[in-house]
Chain A
């Protein structure tokens, strides 16, 4: 394949990575923004979402789309409920003390991993995509008769991957609208700005925290449901999304939602492009280096505020 088509392919693969990553990182960013909690167990919400998606799709017979839709509806709901419960049972009792919540969420991480190992087992398990047509992509080339379209060999993407990109974009827009345009979003933002004063205006801050922690985990789970038809479910799969989400959230600016999306695109695309042309390891090295640079030159992140 020539360079141009090859680059298009890398960009598309990168966009798929960026889509999943922006959902997962958005969850982490939302929780940090509103609650000032660094949730180390966030990757496990992703893992649980994937494993639950495998389990739910196994329950129903018939067309794979039926199981997939069911998984997309139930897995985030279950993971969100589990997270909200752990907020009530654990984080609330620590008064959201920054150091102790980090230790507590490390504990939650191991509980989630080991419980999954004991029930789901150590194997990686695939989920069948709801649809998966291969779509050949055209490329423009200059010939003697001028510009013409042709289909280079190997330049293609599956319909499911295109769906992942569109679904993630739609979900992000929906989240944005909820946060900026609804009353629930207004309660969240007021709580984020000043939780004590929020209580003095009737906002049940404890409930807002539980809901936000639940939504954060549900977003990771939703990302995982989208990814399992591409990448298999496994009880240790939470590590990489956690690391990448942290990278994205730091680069984008802690708690800044637009910054999170921009950073997810940056990391996802560079990961796709560098992995295709060089190696996936180099992609990770560069991403980590980028974090170091951001921390040195712009500690608040690309769109973060100087002080919070």
Chain B
């Protein structure tokens, strides 16, 4: 279980997260929701140690992560799929997967498992990441994070700009990981996806977590989403 309490963080002197608390439980998809600029990406970066916290705590199964150096945090078992994919553009698919495997010392078995999840990548092992199609890039970004065999998966708008069949594939993998017991924290904008996937939702408004709702409530009260997301 990944737990964040009262996070405050920002870019240089500008504070963008004022008070964010959330919990991502094993075997559940927790959606992090909010309008553009609410601080969803910044929250994930703060969890990864990429934004320095001014206060607040982050724990994974009871272990404090907030005072570890950023590169130690993924080693505790957090896989991160950043917004915009952020691939190492000039590395090949094989090299990118190698980087993911090295993070937690995973080996051949994990490599095969990830390539079986995304067979398209297996056909393109020697292609540079930057030359892959958008959908393939998203597969690679997801594969790179899964190479850690993480306990927690952070996904930042994984289906942004993809065609329906690709969205379906990414969604299937997300659900599969949830069913295997991963804790998933998903940033998602599209209504149908939120309603179909979320076991729980955390709403952010200008750097504050203002409300948490479970799936039952999301379905029972459709206005909640409309009201909170302004759509």
Contacts from A to B (Cβ < 8 Å) = 183, 186-187, 189-190, 193-194, 196-205
Contact = CB atoms under 8 A, between A and B. Distances in A.
B71 A189 contact: no
Nearest to B88: A193
Contacts of B48: 199-200
A190 B80 contact: no
Contacts of A196: 50, 86
Interface stretch (B1-9, B56-64, B99-107, B188-196): B99-107
Nearest to B95: A186
B88 A202 contact: no
A197 B103 contact: no
A201 B100 contact: yes
Contacts of B91: 186, 189-190, 193
A194 B130 CA distance: 12
23 contacts: A186-B95, A186-B98, A186-B99, A187-B102, A189-B90, A190-B91, A193-B89, A193-B91, A194-B86, A194-B88, A194-B89, A196-B86, A197-B88, A199-B50, A199-B71, A200-B70, A200-B74, A201-B99, A201-B103, A201-B144, A202-B74, A202-B75, A203-B99
A1 B162 CA distance: 70
Contacts of A200: 48, 50, 70, 73-74, 80, 82
Contacts of A204: 69, 71
Contacts of A183: 98, 102
Contacts of A199: 48-50, 70-71
Interface residues of B, number: 27
Given A186-B95, A204-B69, A204-B71, A197 B102 contact: no
A202 B50 CA distance: 12
B192 to A, nearest CB: 29
Contacts of B95: 186, 189
Given A193-B88, A193-B89, A201 B98 contact: no
A190 B71 contact: no
A189 B102 contact: no
B95 to A, nearest CB: 6
Given A193-B91, A194-B88, A197-B86, 7 more contacts: A186-B91, A187-B102, A189-B95, A193-B87, A197-B87, A199-B50, A200-B74
A201 B104 CA distance: 9
3 smallest CB-CB distances across A and B, nearest first, come from A202-B103, A193-B88, A199-B70
A186 B144 CA distance: 14
Nearest to A180: B95
A179 to B, nearest CB: 12
A190 B99 contact: yes
A200 B68 CA distance: 12
Contacts of B49: 199
A96 B82 CA distance: 23
Given A186-B98, A193-B91, A196-B50, A201 B86 contact: no
A193 B74 contact: no
A183 B87 CA distance: 18
Nearest to A208: B71
B88 A203 contact: no
Contacts of A201: 74, 80, 99-100, 102-103, 144, 148
A183 to B, nearest CB: 7
A204 B104 CA distance: 13
A196 B148 CA distance: 17
Interface in B71-126: 71-75, 80, 82, 86-91, 95, 98-100, 102-104
A138 B97 CA distance: 54
Which of A186, A189, A193, A194 has the most chain B CB atoms inside 10 A of its CB?
A193
A187 B90 CA distance: 13
Contacts of B69: 204
Contacts of B98: 183, 186
Contacts of B148: 201
A255 to B, nearest CB: 11
Contacts of B103: 201-202
A205 B88 CA distance: 14
A124 B71 CA distance: 47
A189 B88 CA distance: 8
A186 B103 CA distance: 12
A203 B71 contact: yes
A183 B101 CA distance: 11
Contacts of B144: 201
A202 B90 contact: no
Contacts of A205: 71
A190 B48 CA distance: 18
B133 to A, nearest CB: 19
Contacts of A186: 91, 95, 98-99, 102
